[in-house]
Amino acid sequence: MILELKPAQQKVLDQAARFGMSAEEVLDQVFAVLQEQYRTEDWMLADREAIAAQIEEGFAQAERGELMDADDAIQILQERRAKRRIA
């Protein structure tokens, strides 16, 4: 297959080559990122109503002053992401 790259895309490949990556390795990483995005999107669409309810509850909690420390929130999000990867 022959692909025509935009100048910005070629620049990325050139930079990757300077770090010892082949075009195939770059494409492997691109496809891995896309697959993860699709999995995340599928998960979000499947649980759309539940996510909307959680967001609404989060806004209500914030309005009541029930805020969470940023470090705790990051930890919870990292744990949730790790669980999704395992599943």
Q: What is the pLDDT of residue 37?
A: 83
Q: What is the pLDDT of residue 56?
A: 92
Q: What is the pLDDT of residue 63?
A: 87
Q: What is the pLDDT of residue 87?
A: 63
**pTM of this prediction?**
0.44
- State the sign of the Cα–Cα–Cα–Cα dihedral 10, 16, 18, 22: negative
Cβ proximity of 84 and 43 under 8 Å: yes
Q: Which residues of the chain have pLDDT under 70?
A: 87
Q: What is the pLDDT of residue 8?
A: 92
